[in-house]
Structure 1
Amino acid sequence: MKKSMSFLVSMLTLVCATSAFAQQDAAAKKILAEVSKKYDSYQSVQANFSFSAVQGANKSAYADAGTLYLDKKNNRYQISMKSQDMISDGKNLYTILKNEKEVQMAEVEKSADAIDPSNIFSFYKTGFKYTLAANEKSGTTVLNVVELSPTDTKKNYSKIKLRINKSTKLIHDATVFDKNGGKYNYTIKTQTANKNLDSSLFTFNKGKYSGYEIVDLR
C-alpha cells in the first residue's frame, strides 16, 4: 500500500514545471498549452480523485480515493485518502498512515524530480516527448489523448497516457505504465478552482494523532 501511494504522488508530480514544452507533436503541444493556460490561472484547487494500481507479476490490485486541497500560491497541499493523509506546509511533509498509526515527518524535496503535488496539473511541461493519439470517450465525454514518454530513459516508467476533456480542457485522468508491467491510474472526479481554503488544512496538528508513533525522517 505504501508503494502504491508513492507511485500515486510520483505520478502526479514527476517533474518540475519550469520549462517550455519540447518541440514534438504540434497538435499535442497545442492541447497541452491550452490545458496549462487553464491551470496556470488558478490560485487554489480542490479535487476529488480515485486511484487504482495493478502491480507485479501476479497483477495484485490496489484502489483508493480521496481529496486534494492545493494552495498553489503558497506551495502547500493536503491529500486525504481512506488509508492515509499527506500534509505539506511548504517546508515539511507529514504522511499519516492510519492503519499503522504512524506519522512520518520529512522535509519537502527541492530537486527537479521532487515529489510535490503543487505540480499536479503541470508535470507534463518538461522532460517528455509527446504525441497525440486518437480521441477516446468516457461515457458521452470526448477526451483528447496525449501519450508522453520520458526523455530520461533511466526513469522507472515507460509511458504516461494523459486524457483531457476536449470541451473544458481539464485533465480527466493519467495512467502511468512502469517498466515492470505495472499500471497506475489517477482519475479526477470533480475539481473546483480558486476556492478559499482554510489554512488549517496545511498545518499538522499533533494533538489530532494521540497514540500515533511520530517518525522524524528529517
Structure 2
Amino acid sequence: MKLKKQLLFIGLFAIGFFSFGQNSSKAQALLDEVYNKAKSYDNIYIDFKSSLENTEANIKQETNGNVYIKGDKYLLDYLGAQQLNDGKKVYTIVPENEEVTIEDITEDNNNITPSKMLTFYKTGHNYQWDILQNVGGRKIQYVKLTPIDSNTEIKSILLGVDSQTKHIYKLIQTGENGTKTSITVNSFKTNQPLSSALFTFNEKKYEDKGYYIIRN
C-alpha cells in the first residue's frame, strides 16, 4: 500500500505537467503558461529526486526516479517498481514481489488521468501566489494549493515553476501528519524519440516469468 501511494503521488506529479486546473489571478496566469507549454510538446522525459521526511517520526528517505509522458500515457520507474498507464489501464509492476496489478482507469478509483486532474484542481483547491526563490541563478516562483476539503490527508501542495522556462522545478506536498514529500526535477527533456511499444503492456512476458497477475 505504501508503494502504491508513493507511485500515485509521483504519477500525480507527472500527469500534472499536462493537466493543471487554475482559479485565481497571478497563480492562474502562471499555471496557464505551464499547462500550455507542456501541451506543446509531443512527449516529456523527467529525471527526478524524491524525498520523504517526517521530523517527529525521525524519518528521512531519498530516492531517484524517471518518467516518460505522452498525452494520457506515462511510464514511471520508481522505488524499484514500474507503473505504466496506456491510456486505458494502469499496470503496477513490482519485480521484488513478482506481481503485476492491473486496474481500469475510471472516475471512481484513485488512478490519475489528465481529465480527472483538471477537474480536481479546478474544484478541489484554492490557489495562492507564494514565495520567489533563487536557485543557482534560476528564479523559481511557487504557487500554493490548499485543499478545500478539510477531511483530506493533504495540508498543502507547493508547485515551484521556473520563471524562464515555465517548467515545473519542484513539488512539495505537506500532509496533515507532518510528513513532507517533495520532488525535484534533475533533468527535463522534450520530444524524445520513443519506441512505439513503450506504453504497451506485454502480459505474456510477465506470465512466462511466473508473475502473479492481480486484476482490480
TM-score, normalised to structure 1, is 0.82
Structure 2 regions of 5+ residues with no counterpart? none
| CA separation of 1:122 and 1:69: change in aligned 2, threshold 3 A | farther
1:152-163 superposed matches below 5 A? 152-163=149-160
Amino acid at match of 2:7: M
1:200 is paired with a residue of what secondary structure?
coil
Aligned counterpart for 1:170 among listed residues 167, 170, 189:
167
Find out whether 1:217 has 2:215 as its counterpart. yes
Amino acid at match of 2:46: A
How far apart, CA to CA, are the structure 1 residues paired with 2:117 and 2:49?
15
- Which residue pairs with 2:196 in the alignment? 199
TM-score, normalised to structure 2, is 0.83
2:198 is paired with a residue of what secondary structure?
helix
2:97 is paired with a residue of what secondary structure?
coil
- Which residue pairs with 2:33 in the alignment? 34
How far apart, CA to CA, are the structure 1 residues paired with 2:116 and 2:190?
14
How far apart, CA to CA, are the structure 2 residues paired with 1:200 and 1:177?
36
How far apart, CA to CA, are the structure 2 residues paired with 1:197 and 1:119?
24
* Aligned-pair CA distance for 1:125: 4.5
How far apart, CA to CA, are the structure 1 residues paired with 2:184 and 2:45?
14
* Aligned-pair CA distance for 1:152: 2.3
Count of residues paired in the alignment: 211
* Aligned-pair CA distance for 1:188: 1.9
Identity of aligned residues (%): 23
2:96 is paired with a residue of what secondary structure?
coil
Structure 1 regions of 5+ residues with no counterpart? none
1:32-181 superposed matches below 5 A? 32-55=31-54, 57-72=56-71, 75-111=72-108, 114-116=110-112, 118=114, 125-126=121-122, 127-181=124-178
* Aligned-pair CA distance for 1:194: 2.8
Consecutive aligned runs of 4 or more in structure 1 exceeding 4 Å deviation: 10-14, 16-19, 117-125
Alignment RMSD: 2.9
How far apart, CA to CA, are the structure 2 residues paired with 1:117 and 1:50?
22
| CA separation of 1:168 and 1:10: change in aligned 2, threshold 3 A | closer
Between stretches 60-69 and 181-190, larger displacement belongs to: 60-69
Amino acid at match of 1:115: N
Greater relative contact order (CA < 8 Å, ≥ 6 in sequence):
1
